[in-house]
Structure 1
């Protein structure tokens, strides 16, 4: 049986360019400022990422004030991109995202994506499910969805000509205390965004045969 292999279209090629050109950039031009309007546009595209039950548990704290970036600097172990980048976006997971279910599914009804009775049954089902879940299971969901939206953010930024770097290296406890973040929100990561002063280092990847297995895992 033959398998067709279509040539990539211009749109596909552009997408692949975005993936290949994304780098973790740690040196930024501090003179470049991304407007809040453009940051909002970037985040709007970012939120098209998938999430469990479409509950969209991500929340973004955009830190673009020079004073607050200085406050964040020691919390992020003095990584200079914190103060050099145009902004640092803290990706947080809402552990009570189920509270938005009625609004989310109501929007789906208003958009004509589902009938009202279906939306009602979804809200009831997921509310019951989340109320019986252990806290660690909900935390794992928001970490997973937070990772998905974080990657989307970095790709959207690259598509718009900006650079990013994800940062897991920071003191989460001090961060939540310094920025008044309640226990409702779980910090997922920090993402610096701006224009590179120096390009990110190219990196290699493991051969695909080292990381991909069809139908069964190897015996090791």
Structure 2
């Protein structure tokens, strides 16, 4: 009985989080987050799934006034860049798979899997990623980066903060301005802070119009 009640309460709380999340574009400039607070949000966000559990996401946290001002024209002068407490550049690491040894060794130490199983998975995955065409690898990084980005936005809302994802920026200028090497693929920017003005409500298409069971419609 107690387990059922706890699950129900947790589900209700999660429902509040997903319903209250908004894309916020006006932030309270007086609100700042400590490095520890930001790292805690990112730590929870990285519980998200990723291909082969390679966790290829990397985060460049841009938080000083000088650097946010430098970023703003690169992000097409969006005001939230300088108003938010921080802007997080979510990047995909094309060499992220090289940490699979480290990741699976830890799983073995914690008793999550047998050593021989981990070794086989690592060898197979490293071979697959190492020979993967560049465009296919970028697709994997975009998928994994998108998943962790969304989880970060939900985590932030659960902690009382607000976000907005931004695809509107010049990728080449971002990489040049912040010395991001070609090893990393920019996925998106996420403004993080406390809303000064709530994000406006939005509507969604009826689920019946976008869901198909077992076969697609003919047109």
Verify same fold: TM over 0.5.
yes
Q: Does 1:161 align with 2:152?
A: no
Aligned-pair CA distance for 1:132: 1.9
Q: Does 1:70 align with 2:69?
A: yes
Q: What secondary structure does 1:214 align onto?
A: coil
Partner Cα separation in structure 1 for residue 26 and residue 37 of structure 2 = 21
Runs of 4 or more above 2 Å deviation: none
Aligned-pair CA distance for 1:139: 0.6
Q: Does 1:136 align with 2:132?
A: no
Normalising by structure 2, report the TM-score.
Answer: 0.96
Q: What secondary structure does 1:114 align onto?
A: coil
Alignment correspondent of 1:59 = 58
Partner Cα separation in structure 2 for residue 127 and residue 120 of structure 1 = 11
Aligned-pair CA distance for 1:192: 0.2
CA displacement 1:12-60 (0-9 Å, x = unmatched): 0000000000000000000000111110100000000000000001000
Aligned-pair CA distance for 1:66: 0.7
Partner Cα separation in structure 2 for residue 109 and residue 189 of structure 1 = 33
Partner Cα separation in structure 1 for residue 10 and residue 51 of structure 2 = 28
Gaps of at least 5 residues in structure 2 are none
Give the count of matched residue pairs.
215
Alignment correspondent of 1:3 = none
Alignment correspondent of 1:196 = 195
Partner Cα separation in structure 2 for residue 36 and residue 18 of structure 1 = 23
Aligned-pair CA distance for 1:130: 1.2
CA displacement 1:100-128 (0-9 Å, x = unmatched): 01001111111110111111111110111
Partner Cα separation in structure 1 for residue 60 and residue 115 of structure 2 = 33
Q: Does 1:93 align with 2:78?
A: no
Partner Cα separation in structure 2 for residue 191 and residue 198 of structure 1 = 17
Gaps of at least 5 residues in structure 1 are 1-5
Partner Cα separation in structure 2 for residue 31 and residue 170 of structure 1 = 25
CA displacement 1:139-196 (0-9 Å, x = unmatched): 1000000000000000000000000000000000000000000000000000000000
Matches within 5 A, 1:1-220: 9-220=8-219
